[in-house]
Chains A and B, each alone.
Chain A
Amino acid sequence: MAALSGAHASGGGIAWDKFPEEKSTDVAALQSGAKTFVNYCLNCHNAAFMRYNRLRDIDLTEAQIKSNLMFATDKVGDTMKVSLDPKNAKDWLGAVPPDLTLIARSRSGSQGSGADYLYTFLRTFYRDQTKPTGWNNLAYPNAAMPHVLWQWQGQRAAKFVEEKDPHDESRTIHKFEGFETLTKGTMPQQEFDDSIANLVAYLNWMGEPAQGTRTRLGVWVLLFLSVFIVIAWRLNASFWKDIK
């Protein structure tokens, strides 16, 4: 069986950067991420379990959703499916683009959360003429995905040095040394990183829209149970003082 990975980049990749967690609760960031998502990602990728009207949870009104964020359908209760035929996708890109609804949850690993992975992945594309799309990626070597947001980031090449494999002296590995800018993008690096962070925050939210409710409710539940434990403990003690 071909050992294609589900959750991990094939053949490893660089260490993951940390996704700025504070973006997860920033509604403006989530909305900006939603905008990037429907404009740039939903052409090839599906988000088949995400309904457009769920975007109300990030403070968008139905009118805003209908007029700005829906291109593939006109029913706000529909799911974010696109019409890219998987057969065509395989022909054009080499692989079927995975569904993105749960991408953040499915990519967590020992190196960090799924959001960390996505934040690293979306920012480490580089030009590689040996690949069919002309792009390669540091976090997911030999990814079939091209650098969709190249106009924002600009085009970069990656510099590698040959080094002895620390685990096996007889082998050499290519160690990433740095990027070299080939053409400039429309955004300076910080702005690009921020836009990607917004997009990843949105992807993270889309994976589990109930997150916010879950943690908010959890605080009350634990508070209640803590008080209840004290009551149960004293009630137990009051019965058991009879036992000699």
Chain B
Amino acid sequence: MATFKEAPADASAAQKLMTWVDNRFPATQLYNEHLAEYYAPKNFNFWYFFGSLALLVLVIQIVTGIFLVMHYKPDAAVAFASVEYIMRDVPWGWLIRYMHSTGASAFFVVVYMHMFRGMIYGSYRKPRELVWLFGCAIFLCLMAEAFMGYLLPWGQMSYWGAQVIVNLFSAIPFIGPDLSLLIRGDYVVSDATLNRFFSFHVIAVPLVLLGLVVAHIIALHEVGSNNPDGVEIKAKKNAEGRPLDGIPFHPYYTVHDVLGVSVFLLIFSAIVFFAPELGGYFLEANNFIPADSMKTPLHIAPVWYFTPYYSVLRAITSEMMYVLMAIVVAGAALAVLKIRMSGLLKAVVLGAAAVVVLLMMSIDAKFWGVVGMGGAVVILFFLPWLDHSEVKSIRYRPDWHKYFYALFVINFFMLGYLGVQPVSPLGERLSQIGTVIYFGFFLLMPWWSRLGTFKIVPDRVTFAPH
């Protein structure tokens, strides 16, 4: 046991209290390590607001969620009515409900921006791979959390959206139907599904999310934050061992983040108070009709934040399978011809490709659609190992790399837009092209990220005093 520290005799009550606590719990040490003496690069820009905003939205969702659960009833017969009860009879219930529904969409806006920052500044690169992995796991959990939360109001879109997506799992060979049964708790989406989704949405996934967020921040603080120049600030320290380009997180970034929070809350409040439905994107019109298993809506679509992945799912038709098979074969051939590897490994690659093509020919495109949709999220986990660029940050990459990233962004938006639209021949073609671009960006990255003339990365961060 460490020796107890004694507060000096003339210490104030507050100091004596802190000494008592510090002797039993590393409160001051944690405060220093993670706030007052956590040295973050001084050149953070706009893209660096979104981490703290994500934490804010998480807190908003949890607090509004707690109050909603006081009045919400997870029973298929009364769930819809209980939400209307919250909107009408619970004092300020309408505000809590709108904050929670807007918060769900805001969470995805903030998280997509946060992830984009990571992509452009190489924040996932060594030694921060684990920060990125925890982040990808958070993203997956967030998607599950939002999906399950959306069933709870028990509206038409809630019910049918859940029905469509859970049915997709039945396309998995062998285990599919049983897996769907396990997820639903029944042969169709029903009261049983509502109850277990409620449990997962309110307790299971939030607990996992909180754990992952803590791990994400601990992993970050262990290695230190990246910055827009991709310069490692710990490389240049002063006599006291503090990074020359670092500033204590508190007070500089705490006050900085207060500004970010206030601007975010302005936009958030504008939506909550003036346009909570946001044209049917945040609260869909169809969801104001109680779920009816006998009436299928004309147009079932997921909420906007899932639409890029939904596009990928819909793009993979039986026709598209031929294109994908050709890509697998071409990919294996290129790998074997261009990459230096042992004869054994080459045989393995070709064998694996043959097996994959065989499976693609025998299993229905619906399953591969699910694989594609899942793969589009899972591929993010591999980013630290796909990126072979000489430099971390987009600032010092060849200019044409920037156009590649711009293309990726535009493509992602296009896939998102197509996901909201009903199926059409043109839409199908475009989403197929978009899917190839999306996966091509990542899978070919080991090759294209090395090409071009890179710029010299400075020793010190670029910063203009202000």
Task: List the interface of chain A (C-beta within 8 A of B).
Answer: 1-8, 48-51, 54, 98-99, 101-102, 105-109, 114, 207-210, 214-215, 217-218, 221-222, 225-226, 228-229, 232-233, 235-237, 239-241, 243-244
Contacts and interface: CB of A to CB of B under 8 A. Distances in A.
Interface stretch (B208-216, B292-300, B324-332, B376-384): B292-300
Contacts of B299: 8
Contacts of A209: 88
B285 A106 contact: yes
B118 to A, nearest CB: 24
B247 interface: yes
A109 B270 CA distance: 22
A229 B259 contact: yes
Main secondary structure of the interface of B (DSSP, over half): helix
A179 to B, nearest CB: 28
A77 to B, nearest CB: 10
B285 A7 contact: yes
A6 B259 contact: no
Given A106-B288, A243-B465, A233 B84 contact: no
B465 to A, nearest CB: 5
A75 B466 CA distance: 66
B329 to A, nearest CB: 38
Contacts of B288: 102, 105-106, 207
B466 A7 contact: no
A50 B81 CA distance: 11
Which 6 A-B pairs rank lowest in CB-CB distance, beginning with the nearest? A218-B273, A106-B288, A49-B84, A102-B288, A1-B296, A105-B288
A136 B88 CA distance: 35
Contacts of B88: 49-51, 54, 209-210
Interface in B227-263: 247, 251-252, 255-256, 258-259, 262-263
B194 to A, nearest CB: 19
A237 B262 CA distance: 15
Given A232-B259, A240-B466, A2 B285 contact: no
A225 B42 CA distance: 27
Interface centre among A6, A106, A233 (most CB of B within 10 A): A6
B94 interface: yes
Nearest to A108: B285
A8 B262 contact: no
Contacts of B269: 218, 221-222, 225
Contact of A232 (B262, B289, B295, B298): B262
B46 to A, nearest CB: 13
B262 A228 contact: yes
B266 A6 contact: no
9 contacts: A2-B296, A6-B156, A49-B88, A101-B84, A108-B285, A226-B266, A232-B262, A237-B466, A243-B247
A49 B258 CA distance: 40
Contacts of B276: 214
A6 B289 contact: yes
Contacts of A109: 280, 285
B277 interface: yes
A225 B84 contact: no
Contacts of B95: 214
Interface string B427-466: 0000000000000000000000000000000000001011
A107 B289 CA distance: 9
A239 B295 contact: no
A8 B273 contact: no
Contact of B258 (A54, A107, A232): A232
A240 B270 CA distance: 29
Interface in B162-197: none
B51 to A, nearest CB: 17
Contact of A3 (B89, B285, B298): B298
Contacts of A6: 156, 286, 289, 292, 295, 297-298
Given A105-B285, A218-B274, A236-B256, A3 B296 contact: yes
B269 to A, nearest CB: 5
B270 A218 contact: yes
Contacts of B273: 214-215, 217-218, 221-222
B286 A49 contact: no
B262 A229 contact: yes
Interface in B68-90: 81, 84-85, 87-89
B289 A106 contact: yes
Contacts of A226: 266
A2 B296 CA distance: 7
A236 B289 contact: no
Contacts of B352: none
Nearest to A101: B84
A48 B81 contact: yes
Contacts of B94: 208, 210, 214
A4 B81 contact: no
Contacts of A3: 296, 298
B265 interface: yes
Nearest to B85: A49
A235 B98 CA distance: 31
A13 to B, nearest CB: 13
Contacts of B262: 225, 228-229, 232
Contacts of B289: 6-7, 98, 102, 106
A235 to B, nearest CB: 6
A239 B42 CA distance: 13
Contacts of A233: 259
Contacts of A221: 269, 273
Contacts of A1: 296
B258 A5 contact: no
Contacts of B297: 5-7
A215 B298 CA distance: 32
B42 A243 contact: yes
B81 A49 contact: yes
A5 B298 contact: yes
Contact of B296 (A4, A54, A98): A4
Contact of B280 (A48, A101, A108, A218): A108
